[in-house]
Amino acid sequence: MFCYAFYLIGRYEFGMEPLAVRRLVRRWYFAAAITGLYVGSFESEFEQQLNDVSRLETADEFRAYFDRRLAAIMTDDYFSITLPSSLDANEAAGPTWWGFVAAQVVLGAKVLFSTAPLSQLLLMGSSGSKKALDKHHLFPDNYLKSRGYLSQRSNRGNFTLVDYQNNIYISDDAPSEYVRKYRDSLGEDEYRRNCEEHALPVGFEDLDYEEFLGKRRQLMGELVKRAYERL
């Protein structure tokens, strides 16, 4: 709602061209959503922004104001340190997790080991009696339980979205087992594409779990940065 208000202000108060204001506001929306900018005492934050904008006179000043704010929020340190750190938590939920999924959509990712675009299966109406997508443990839950990883098995870095059938197929197999099946059937190029689109280190299936989490969270931050820059 607040981001849409800035769209209206940019479009009708400052006379910005539709494409230009859309590009500006979608970057602002992405930044606000993934960082939780309008969470908590957001009224004072929004009021201050309105006061700042009220003192601007031209479309160029309006654009420059948000460019400066974005540059201060979406820094290299945010993508390489802050964001990966926020992904070091249990359960696939919260702004940074869904920001990662949104980044995959922006970059046109397909569902893991599938030809279906992720964006297509996220649409309303794509699920029937079974959900079209499942949050999948890359290192399956029961596999990790059997190896003593009781507290870190549902770390956000251990999740990605897969379609219903693949989730059943993978089951509780060790990563070295189920990934090898896909890698052999899909070929090396497709395997590497899947790794890139899901922020997976190449050869992740053979890594120690803790090492995998560290590398994967870093790659998730890099993927989100690429999507933000594309916006």
Q: What is the pTM of this model?
A: 0.89
Q: What is the pLDDT of residues 72-127, one digit of tens each?
A: 999 999 999 999 999 999 888 889 999 999 999 999 999 998 888 998 888 865 55
Q: What is the pLDDT of residue 145?
A: 86
Three-state DSSP at 201 gives: coil
Residue 115: which of 181, 182, 180, 175 has the closest Cα? 182
First to last CA, the chain: 19
Three-state DSSP at 138 gives: coil
Q: What sign has the CA pseudo-torsion 227, 93, 45, 29?
A: positive
pLDDT at 169 over 70: no
Q: What is the pLDDT of residue 173?
A: 80
Conformation bin of residue 96: beta by default, left when phi > 0, alpha when psi is -120 to 50: alpha
Cα 13 → chain centroid: 32
Q: What is the rounded CA–CA span in Å between residue 219 and residue 157?
A: 10
Asked if residues 84 and 217 have their Cβ atoms less than 8 Å apart, the reply is yes
Give the residue-averaged pLDDT of 19-48.
90
Q: What is the pLDDT of residues 185-225, one digit of tens each?
A: 889 999 999 999 999 999 999 999 999 999 999 999 999 99
Contacts of 48 (CB under 8 A, 6+ apart): none
